[in-house]
Structure 1
Amino acid sequence: MGHLIPIIELGKRMVSHHEFHVTIFFVASDHASITSLLKSPTPHNLDIVALPFVDISGLIEPNTHLVTKLLVIMRESLPSLRSLIAAMKIRPTALIVDLFGADAFEIAQEFGMLKYVFVTTNAWFLAVIFHSSSLDKQVILEGHVKGQKPLKIPGCKSLFFKDTLESLHDIDSVDESEFIGTKMTKSNGILINTWQDLESSTIEALRDNNYLGGLIKVPIYPIGPLVRQEGKQVLDKQVKQWLDKQPIESVIYVSFGSGGTLSAKQMTEFAWGLEQSQRKFIWVVRPPSNNALGSYFTIGKTDGDGTPDYLPQGFFTRTKDIGLVIPMWAPQAQILSHPSVGGFLSHCGWNSTLESITNGVPMIAWPLYAEQKMNAAMLTEDFEIAVRPKVSTTEEIVGRGEIEGMVRMMMADKEGLAMKNIVKELKQNAEKALDKGGSSYNSLSQVAQDCLHHLQV
């Protein structure tokens, strides 16, 4: 979901603003939220095609790192992608791949297509990927991982160990031949789901021809924020009626993404913290798991008032006047855009981050995996539109008292109001970037022009 949503939005924008015919290929999945996304209406001239499922169980070990697994899946999908492109009546002009799809450049080369990478997260993440790719693994392992020293990123914010990428924690388990930083430099350009004013210094560093010894000699195109649009999907009647009754900006929305979960002990503390805050909330709840990506389970047993057995007994009864619990999944874009929502407790996935910013909603940062700790650091330290717990949300239990305090601060205190004012300014800035003549509009227009020129050559 984290990659597919902005890819679909990029496709829509190429169709609506630049009159391209776009075909999006993705690896098949029966994930419920992906199925829901693909059922959403798409414009004419935008086709979405599922590549056949690939079984990689015989190609990996049980403890193979997630990054390597994704790269293997993409590599094993190449024959299907090649066949589908070869069968197209009109040969595509350009191939835009996901971060993990650079191996498909050989297909683009074969068919004479331009090659682009779309990095669906931010410029700082891209800088870390390039810098870590340019270093010897042992340097990262000894200094950053074992020594827990900051990883100094030239021209950018340093990466502190407490916020580092999971793949850097386990860098020995990531096959160097599979790593992606240098492969992206073989493209005709790199698109990033951010915008110039949001990360100006980092973007300028990446555009410097001498950056990392001249490693990056391809154009950098910040084209965001590309976020899921409300579309024609409507809120569930019960949710809409409940939100419509609440005062403006009085509700905190709580969601840990399309698959994020908490441990049983943390979920208990979380529920008590929300209840004790006595602030209005909507909480998208999944059963607990010791794996933050534990994700998709059925609702367990319930007590007399319908409260699931993994929440404190009687929770639904005690919070019926202040809260609404939604099992498993909710239409996030629609909820965040509702006038009653004034805060978002989020796992800090980049899609959720951008959806929060573009709706002018400040955040409580609760990162779980991938690059989410990096995003949380940016939101709290650089943008000042979020607050995060004092302890690691992946290694320690955040107590109910701290949760209560963060919610109260976000929804009622001066500090929360200051964050709301800043994020509303960022919202306006993001809108200008996407409007005709804005920085992101112009970046994508340049890509479109290059594609048209290539077609005419």
Structure 2
Amino acid sequence: MVLSPGIGHLIPLTEFAKRLVINHPKFEVTIFIPNDGSPMKYPKQLLQALPKSISTIFLPPVSFNDLPHDVDIETKIVLSVVRSLPALKHSIKVLLESTRLAALVVDLFGIEPVSDICKELGIIKPYIFFPTNAMMLQLVFHMPKFDQTFSCESFSDLVEPLKLPGCVPLHGRDVPDPLRDKKSMAYEGTVQLCRCYSMAAGIMVNSFVELQQGAFKALMMNQGQIPAVYPVGPLVQTGSSDGGVNESNNCCLKWLNEQPDGSVVYVSFGSGGTLSSQQMNELAMGLEMSGQRFLWVVKSPNDKAKNATFFSVDSVDDDPVHFLPNGFLERTKGVGLVVPSWAPQVEVLSHGSTGGFITHCGWNSTLEAIVHGVPLVAWPLYAEQRMNAVILSDDLKVAWRVKENENGLVGRDEIAKFVKGLIQGEEGKPLRDKMRKLKEAAKMALSPDGSSTKSLAKVAEIWNNQGK
């Protein structure tokens, strides 16, 4: 398995590897990890906890010194794989000397460069592990056609929503970042990447049929024109997500233990998400105005980028708490808990005191909320998060989506209204009820006779035959 940079890619791929070797113990897995220069402390801790049948190979670090400082994250991710190709090819050749290859799996950014290696070495076509959802995969297959059909410079200019088979309508403004604006540096490369998906032998998707029935049905009806699609999710972290920050872990859980059931709103924007100074201030005031209990993972603000910490997941800010409004901590003492930079999210979401989640709608966080039955306030920031917010609010109806005001901010009044409604209000009851049903559906999908377990078994059978 070949990884792309980012903790949001590492976690689902390693969970996929774990599920494969646990359910089908004949397999052994080697994970190749490109080195983009990001801190590796937390990824190494995750990898050290994997079963013995999963090994890892860290590829030599690559340099980005020739790139402009404001280059798109997607460009850096793809280049980290491309610039690791010589080392990757050498490592695969060495492995082939002692191992029967059943399959080569790449994550969503690796299909084009790794396909070239497969041709050169004369080995089987790669599979894709797709760590996000079926609606995004539908967009991937339709994007080359949309690129030719629409002449506008930005999909945000489209009046009519895009129609993807089996999916709710998608407005152009909610198209993922690298595909929304044709003038962006990443656009052409990302559309080309979409074209390459047809080169895959098959695609494993980190979602489940019961969550996205329409999208998966449409994808599977298209078999023959596109690679076979296998829903294998929800693949989320289980057990401790400590990350080595024991003090924060203990602090959060001890505080949650003292709160009433379902009374706390958890606020976190993932490993990469950042807010501006003004937005951070509005969020603080909205939480205070709501009068509800909250656990907020605070990062230092960034006024230029909404994904400023994507490549530095385990760097801890000196003290982001200094950026909070004057007197905020004193006024909310006993009601809220603020923790800098990191919290044990799996443990927080599974805790009985947690009754809601303000989230950036990263797909890992989305699935973790579904698995633990926690209703959402959807606050997308970058990548495909706006699309995920559409799924959560318009299709599944387990989230309220925030709206920016004329100043480009989510205002404190709206934040307070949503937080209060999620925890206390009758208007939050439908969200809570629907999320409970999805929690049960997720559990069933991963059961011995569940849809995702059977889907993984099909993949394993194909690989078992190829490895003979």
**TM-score under structure 1 length normalisation:** 0.91
Verify the 8 A CA contact 1:144 1:150 in the aligned structure 2.
no
Whole-Å separation in 2 of the counterparts to 1:138 and 1:52: 42
Give, in whole Å, the separation in 1 of the partners of 2:33 and 2:40.
Answer: 15
The match for 1:436 is: 448
Aligned-partner Cα distance in 1 for 2:445–2:334: 40
* Deviation larger for 240-249 or 289-298: 289-298
Q: Who is 1:421 aligned against?
A: 433
Which has the larger displacement, 71-80 or 443-452? 71-80
Equivalence for 2:4: none
The answer to whether structure 1 residue 107 and structure 2 residue 117 are counterparts is yes
1:144, 1:151 within 8 Å by CA — same for their partners in 2? no
Distance 1:114 1:450 in 2: 13
Q: Distance in 1 between matches of 2:134 and 2:156?
A: 22
Partners of 1:299 and 1:308 within 8 A in 2: no
For 1:428, what is the secondary structure of its paired residue? Answer: helix
Between the aligned partners of 1:340 and 1:421, the Cα distance in structure 2 is 17
Q: 1:126 aligns with which of 137, 149, 170?
A: 137
Structure 2 residue aligned with 1:165: 176
The one of 79, 90, 106 equivalent to 1:97 is 106
Q: 2:308 aligns with which of 264, 271, 294?
A: 294
* Residues 10 and 43, structure 2, Cα contact 8 Å, conserved in 1: no
Q: How does 1:32-71 map to 2 (within 5 A)?
A: 34-35=42-43, 37-38=45-46, 41-58=49-66, 60-71=67-78
Q: Tell me if 1:276 matches 2:286.
A: no
Q: Does the CA-based 8 Å contact 1:33-1:329 persist in structure 2? A: no
The aligned residue for residue 262 of structure 2 is 249
1:170 Cα offset (Å): 2.5
Q: 2:71, 2:214 → 1: CA distance?
A: 36
Q: 1:232 to 1:138 in 2, by over 3 A?
A: closer
Q: Go from structure 1 to structure 2 and tell me whether the alpha carbon gap of 1:222 and 1:52 turns closer, same or farther (over 3 Å shift).
A: same
- Quote how far apart the aligned CAs of 1:78 are: 1.1
User: How much does 1:148 deviate?
Assistant: 4.4
User: Residues 300 and 83 (structure 1 numbering): CA distance in 2 closer, same or farther, change over 3 Å?
Assistant: closer
Matched, 1:320 2:320: no
Who is 1:30 aligned against? 38
Query: Aligned partners of 1:70 and 1:237: how far apart in 2?
Result: 34
Residues 253 and 345 in structure 1, CA contact (< 8 A), matched pair in contact too: yes
Give the secondary structure class of the aligned counterpart of 1:254.
strand
The separation in 1 between residues aligned to 2:467 and 2:308, in whole angstroms, is: 46
Q: Which amino acid aligns with 2:360?
A: H
**2:101 is the alignment partner of 1:87:** no
8 Å contact from structure 1 (residues 119, 192) kept in 2: yes
Q: Identify which of 8, 11, 23 aligns with 2:14.
A: 8
Contact 2:173 2:180 in 1 (8 A): no
Change (3 A) 1:33 1:344: farther
Other-structure match for 2:238: 229
Structure 1 Cα separation of the partners of residues 151 and 219 of structure 2:
21
Q: 1:32 to 1:417 in 2, by over 3 A?
A: farther
2:299 maps to amino acid? R
Q: Percent identity?
A: 39
Kindly provide the CA deviation profile for residues 304-345 of structure 1, in whole angstroms up to 9, marking residues without a partner as x.
Answer: xxx933111121111111111110111111111111111111
Does the C-alpha gap of structure 1 residues 114 and 162 become closer, same or farther in structure 2, counting only changes over 3 Å?
closer
Q: Distance in 2 between matches of 1:427 and 1:282?
A: 22
Q: Is the contact made by 1:27 and 1:50 (CA closer than 8 Å) also made in structure 2?
A: yes
1:134 CA displacement:
2.9
In structure 2, stretches of 5+ residues that fail to align are 1-6
State how far apart, in whole Å, the 2-side matches of 1:316 and 1:42 are: 39
Query: 1:165 and 1:137, CA in 2 relative to 1: closer, same or farther beyond 3 A?
Result: farther
Give the superposition deviation at 1:150.
1.8
8 Å CA contact 2:232–2:456 kept in 1: the answer is: yes
Summarize deviations over 1:260-319 as a string: whole Å, max 9, x none: 111101111111111111111110000111111123676567xxxxx9331111211111
SS at 1:135's partner residue? helix
Q: CA deviation at 1:33?
A: 7.3
Q: Is the 8 A contact 1:360 1:427 kept in 2?
A: yes
Q: Which residue of 1 aligns with 2:423?
A: 411
Structure 2 CA distance for aligned equivalents of residues 314 and 449 of structure 1? 60
Q: 1:245 to 1:9 in 2, by over 3 A?
A: same
Query: What is the CA–CA distance in structure 2 between the aligned matches of 1:209 and 1:232, rounded to whole Å?
Result: 38
Residue 18 of structure 1, aligned match among 2, 16, 24 = 24
Partner of 1:304: none
Aligned partners of 1:176 and 1:288: how far apart in 2? 31
CA contact (8 A) 1:195 1:439 kept: yes
The residue matched to 1:257 in structure 2 has which SS? coil
Aligned residue type for 1:47: S
Q: What is the TM-score with the length of structure 2 in the denominator?
A: 0.89
Unaligned 5+ runs, structure 1: 302-306
Instruction: Assess if the C-alpha contact under 8 Å between 1:137 and 1:171 holds in 2.
Output: no
Partner of 2:398: 385
**In 2 relative to 1, CA 23–337 (structure 1 residues): closer, same or farther, beyond 3 Å?**
same
Asked if structure 2 preserves the Cα contact closer than 8 Å seen for 1:85 and 1:91, the reply is no
Contact persistence 1:273–1:401 (CA under 8 A)? yes
Aligned residues: 445
C-alpha distance in 2, partners of 1:26/1:222? 24
Root-mean-square deviation (CA, aligned residues, Å) is: 2.3
> Displacement, 1:49?
2.3
SS in structure 2 opposite 1:3?
helix
